[in-house]
Amino acid sequence: MKKLLALLLAALMLTACGATKNEPELFPPEETPEETSCMIDEAPTDDEPTRCPVGSWMLAASPVVTDEQKALLEKATAELVGAQYTPVAYVASQIVSGTNHLLLCRVKPIVPEPHAIEKYALVYLYEDLEGNVTLDKVVDSGAWTYLSDEALPGGWYEPSPVLEGEALAAFEKATENYIAAALTPIALVSEQVVAGKNYRVFCKVTPNLEAIDYEYAIVNVSADLNGNATFGLIEPVMEAWQEVSEATVAEPIGEPVGDPIAPAQG
């Protein structure tokens, strides 16, 4: 009888082991699907690649726009007239039945209008499984680019979108005491050499106050020759239906470090 029980137990253990081997473990023992998040501000790294469920927006590991991403934008806007779209930074992607792409672009109206102004905008593209690309929507930031047509002294110019070195240090120092929202830098959109340097940084905004109802913004930072850094204008990137008061656009919520700066007119 004891031998029969031992054989039955051994058989049950073998069956259990076989089932475990054939069913892949989707999450480590210490994690559950509920604990595994894939927020848009959590970019993957070489050390910690992020495993995202289908349908999650994923912040790009690098803002540099690749030739493939440029081709997608060109394909989506090829038949559009009235505006020119120039990619500045690749922001995020979303895997659906195909892929949604989010890019920060410079949008310049092509009209015989002397007051037509080039502005920054978020451009959403949809790429289906067959490689077809369509322009889903454009969210106009209202923020002028201020870029000079020529390399003029004191003019704004477009550097690499990767925020690093002196620009990153200035951004971190200028925003370290800002408590109204967490500002996650995504891309450096422009620089201006003055008595020091001015920077415009595209950021993801995680509000700490209800008064802030936008998700992205262009933050203006000024660094002097002595290593001091301040920030002033926060220019929200919002849906067209969202109303923003002039005070909200012109000044950050809360107390910035130092006086606000206004971008030069070129």
With CA atoms as reference, report the closest residue to 261 among 201, 177, 172. Answer: 201
What's the mean per-residue pLDDT of the chain?
75
- Evaluate if pTM is beyond 0.75: no
Rounded to an integer, the average pLDDT of 161-168 is: 96
Compare 224 and 15 and report the one with higher pLDDT. 224
pLDDT at 210 (0 to 100) = 81
The dihedral over CA atoms of 99, 105, 111, 116, expressed in degrees to the nearest 10, equals: 150
pLDDT of 189 > 80? The answer is: yes
pLDDT of 262 > 50? The answer is: no
| Contact (Cβ atoms closer than 8 angstroms) between residue 122 and residue 100 | no
| Contact (Cβ atoms closer than 8 angstroms) between residue 160 and residue 136 | no
Q: What is the pLDDT of residues 201-215, one digit of tens each?
A: 999 999 888 878 888
In this structure, what token pair is assigned to residue 69? 């991403």
Q: What is the pLDDT of residues 64-119, one digit of tens each?
A: 999 999 999 999 999 888 889 999 999 999 999 999 999 999 998 887 666 778 99
Q: What is the pLDDT of residues 117-163, one digit of tens each?
A: 899 999 999 999 999 999 999 998 888 999 986 667 788 999 999 99
pLDDT of 26 > 70? The answer is: no
pLDDT of 50 > 80? The answer is: no
The DSSP secondary structure of 208-232, one letter per residue, reads SSTT---SEEEEEEEE-TTS-EEEE
